[in-house]
Structure 1
């Protein structure tokens, strides 16, 4: 005959085994924020290095991504300053990021919030609401680093890997005036 104590120990061992195996499954099933971007047909370079976590409601597409910075992540690519806040939010569907907050680009002397990114084949269209600019998807195959973009290990700045390098200021400004 077994004691009530042995039943409790046995039950406790079963519960520990179940909780350990379900935690391991949850860890193995979790994607990084970069992998989530790829799942929705976007390149990883839309997010800078250093994303520490994210939230995603798959039923609505609402998301938040968190950077490992207490303030902002700013870097320059091809003479354009890009700034990410420590929390980036919006909605994601296949080939479309919209209602974005936390990402901006400096054009001339103005900081413009990037509101939407749409993938159309091999192009990404970045919209600031009243104007947009197109970039090649393959320019975003690497994630830039906060502070130095893609020039972190090359002091001369010779390593241009981003689609921002193809930013056409005159086309962008003419879209603003149309």
Structure 2
């Protein structure tokens, strides 16, 4: 006799097999992009394969720092156009440059680098930096023990963080 839990799991697996809808992160891979250009938390996405127009919805707006110096901000909805190795017409992603927030308008994959363009300037980063999706609030530096230590140190300045 099959248990209700096992039956539910089988039905869920069958439904996923029938629909075969990839996640937003899997869809990025089909266009030669790593999943880490989107933060954790995509709740829905739409992709028109004929035009490349896409929309990704996050569970909330999101910001975090990468490599200790770049602050990124994602609105709750991100739109643009995707083709192999190229994201264009981006809306909803910005980076802090000096004292100003500027929109990232385009991302291009060139070999093992991703070039991020804000229009008048661009910066290249190694592809390896984007294999893991960042988490809202802490980016890729989300070690719970480290976060707990930092919180304790702010309450008791005589403790040092290591």
Bin the TM-score by the shorter chain. 0.7 to 0.9
Consecutive unaligned residues in structure 1, runs of 5 or more = 1-19, 158-178
**24 and 141 in structure 1: CA distance in 2 versus 1, 3 angstrom threshold:** same
Counterpart of 1:113 in structure 2 is: 103
Instruction: Report whether the alignment pairs 1:125 with 2:100.
Output: no
> Displacement, 1:25?
6.2
> Displacement, 1:76?
1.3
Counterpart of 1:98 in structure 2 is: 88
- Within the candidate set 7, 10, 24, 1:33 is matched to 24
Consecutive unaligned residues in structure 2, runs of 5 or more = 1-10, 148-162
- Within the candidate set 49, 57, 62, 1:58 is matched to 49
TM-score by length of 2: 0.77
- Between the aligned partners of 1:140 and 1:96, the Cα distance in structure 2 is 15
Counterpart of 2:75 in structure 1 is: 85
> Displacement, 1:150?
1.2
Could you say what the CA RMSD is over the residues aligned between the two structures, in angstroms?
1.9
TM-score by length of 1: 0.71
- Find the structure with the greater CA-based Rg: 1
> Displacement, 1:114?
0.2
**27 and 48 in structure 1: CA distance in 2 versus 1, 3 angstrom threshold:** farther
SS at match of 1:35: helix
Instruction: Report whether the alignment pairs 1:152 with 2:142.
Output: yes
- Within the candidate set 123, 133, 141, 1:143 is matched to 133
- Within the candidate set 62, 77, 91, 1:73 is matched to 62
- Between the aligned partners of 2:62 and 2:111, the Cα distance in structure 1 is 29
Q: How many residues are matched?
A: 134
- Within the candidate set 10, 26, 45, 2:36 is matched to 45
